Amino acid sequence: MADIILGIESSCDDTSAAVLKDGWLLSNVLASQDVHKCYGGVIPELASRAHQQNIVPVVSEAVKRAGISLGDISAIAFTRGPGLLGSLLVGTSFAKGLAIALDCPLVEVNHLQGHVLANFVKQYDKENRVPSFPYLCLLVSGGNSQIVKVNSPLEFEILGHTIDDAVGEAFDKCSKMLGLGYPGGPVIDRLAKLGDPERFRFNKPHIPGLDYSFSGIKTSLLYFVRDEMQKDPEFMEKNKEDICASFQKTLIDILMDKLVKAARQTGISEITIGGGVSANSGLRARIEEEGRRRGWNTYLPEFKFTTDNAAMIAVAGWFHYLNGERCPLDVAPLSRIAD
């Protein structure tokens, strides 16, 4: 009998549902929320209200596209955390109610583990290259920057993490303060393609070990632009492509320096990336370039699996389900998860 997993993701501002059959993706539906753009960031209360509006039609559409009935579902995998508590509460509550109605088990999933395992989402019309264990994952999202050693689908070891801002926050905060728009990652990436990455130089942090820091580079950029605009009020507008290109290159250099160090220390040559920032074209190109230079086997998730999506939650839940893991109906969402 096939294992059919319904995945539900609602950790931030995207409502998503996906259906997996024995690890193969049957459907993946996502509803985004444009309401936050005018505020320059996600408003938690507005996000949770939008999830309430979206979750029923999104799940219904995922089931319809998968060509299954609700009675075929073996288990429901849902994001327990980390994320916005109100948003997580919507997904968790819906998953509980559906599990009771269908008399099927619940499987909780750590959102970050979903990103780490995104490359294991199998599609019928794709090559489906997957990394061998152990592998290193550069996990880069809006609120997290980590280097994770993945020993098995359920065994993770964090080798390094940010001690302050994450790289996604550096993109978003700087873009907002420079008047470029939100979300900052795609805006800066687009402008960077038109600029000279060697035009400007920004100071890089010197953090021991494999940990990251991005608050300093963010401050360095903002002070640099402020000082230059005091001399020429049109400096930003005249040079925004070169500023974005140089800033993005510096962030990528910081990420890659530690990843190269981690690969050297562990002797691991299986390398993946995950999280929203893994959609950045400059980072993706740099990962592949370093892979060719250093003999790595590199694995990049498809763009649709880099953002918050239920396919990655479903595949992570499938691994937990196969391991016999279930969670009780009184489970509560968590905005932060220690491990």
Q: Which of 264, 283, 263, 265 is CA-nearest to residue 273? A: 283
Task: Supply the pLDDT for residue 34.
Answer: 66
Q: Which of 153, 42, 123, 117 is CA-nearest to residue 272? A: 117
Task: Supply the pLDDT for residue 339.
Answer: 46
**Cβ density class 220-255: b for 16+ within 10 Å, e for less:** bbeebbeebeeeeeebbeebbbbbbbbbbbbbbebb
Q: Which of 200, 298, 208, 204 is CA-nearest to residue 254? A: 204
The DSSP result for 112-132, as a single string, is HHHHHTGGG-B-TTS----PP
Residue 146: its H or E element: strand 145-152
**What is the pTM assigned to this prediction?**
0.94
Task: Supply the pLDDT for residue 35.
Answer: 63
- By the 8 A CB rule, do 172 and 215 touch? no
Task: Supply the pLDDT for residue 338.
Answer: 59
Tokens of 234: 């049109």
Residues of the chain with pLDDT under 50: 339
